[in-house]
Homo-oligomer: A and B are copies of this chain.
Amino acid sequence: MSVSAGQGVHPTITVLHGDDQPQLSGLEHVRLAHDAATLAAALPGTEVLLVWDFLSDAVHDAWPAADAGLRWVHTASAGVDRLSFPGLAGSAVTVTNSRGVFDTPIAEYVLGLVLAMAKDLPTTLALQARREWRHRDAEQVAGATAVVVGGGPIGRAVARLLRAVGMHVELVGRAAAPGRHGFDELPVLLPRAGWLVLAAPLTEQTRGMVDAAALAALPAGARVINVARGALVDEAALVAAVRLGRLGGAALDVVATEPLLPSSPLWELPGVIISPHMSGDTHGWRAALVDAFIANLDRYRAGQPLHNVVDKRLGYVTDGPDGSI
């Protein structure tokens, strides 16, 4: 898909930001918005929308106002779930994402969580706080089996890194492909998943896929790691499975409602690690995201096809330098 006709050399750009703003020095015609109201006010005359606050619902909420002159929406994220609504999907607006920026950081983060749980690091730190020296046996991860859900570049990077430490990895994507199972094979794979890693886009197909039945299919003591979107997991079912001792633990970098509500039982659930949606964010990530946007903006100005164009029906990029997901 390309945006090829009529765009301006200096298009008006609106930035939907949250707590922080991207450094876009040198760009002209930049408007700022931080919620649905300010976005609706900024959009008339805007050609390009940069969604910096990728967890905001403001684009959805401001949509009727947006659909006049807007040609391209770029999101500073891999996931485009907040942009997957009928108004945008049915429009002529092109959506691009930040595919590639987060692959290695997220893969490292997942491996760090696997090793932290296998080596019982949370207990070690809790004992340290009490000045208590208490030896325990840990687990070896080499030889363990991980099922990685997500056949895109992030899931593939996770699989690569887990294999590099000797784990046996089954990669699962929407449809089977060489080196990859399809979602329909999960009933066979889950009973072998000592580690279940979620790295798939949030789509209608993945929403709630880790429900009570999926959790019950895992082997006793299995761990669940979610670095995708919270809504892939039925959190109530997860809490119940942990409380019943069915799971060995979980590490959630994403939750259904972010920030996680102070009242959530997840905070204090034994064996559960909660981190604040940071798996992809290594030093320099903001600059990397800006660079990715600017590179695409240069293509836009030159009338060239944009990179990382999202299939708005599927909810992710289906082609790219790393192959289809």
Contact = CB atoms under 8 A, between A and B. Distances in A.
Interface of A: 104-105, 108-109, 111-112, 115-116, 118-119, 121-122, 124-125, 127-128, 131, 133-142, 161, 164-166, 258-260, 262, 264, 267-268, 273-278, 281-283, 285
Contacts of A138: 105, 109, 278, 281-283
B131 A282 contact: no
Given A115-B111, A165-B111, A258 B104 contact: no
Query: Which of A119, A135, A260, A276: most chain B Cβ within 10 A?
Result: A119
B119 A285 contact: no
Contact of A267 (B131, B161, B274): B131
Query: Which of A115, A127, A139, A166: most chain B Cβ within 10 A?
Result: A115
Given A127-B276, A128-B267, A128-B273, 10 more contacts: A109-B115, A111-B115, A112-B116, A121-B275, A125-B273, A131-B268, A135-B277, A136-B278, A137-B281, A164-B165
Contacts of A275: 121, 124, 128
A114 to B, nearest CB: 8
Contacts of A111: 111, 115, 165
Contacts of A281: 135-138
Contacts of A108: 115, 118-119, 140-142, 165
A127 B112 CA distance: 18
Contacts of A276: 124, 127, 133-136
A260 B140 contact: no
A283 B140 contact: yes
28 contacts: A105-B138, A105-B140, A108-B165, A109-B138, A111-B111, A111-B165, A112-B115, A116-B116, A116-B121, A119-B278, A121-B121, A121-B273, A124-B275, A128-B274, A128-B275, A131-B267, A131-B268, A133-B274, A134-B276, A135-B281, A136-B281, A137-B278, A137-B282, A137-B285, A138-B283, A161-B165, A164-B164, A164-B165
Nearest to A119: B112
A124 B273 contact: yes
A185 B142 CA distance: 33
A274 B134 CA distance: 11
Contacts of A134: 276
Closest 6 A/B residue pairs (Cβ): A112-B115, A133-B259, A164-B164, A140-B282, A135-B276, A133-B276
Contact of A137 (B136, B277, B283): B283
A262 B140 contact: no
A108 B138 CA distance: 11
A121 B128 contact: no
Nearest to A277: B135
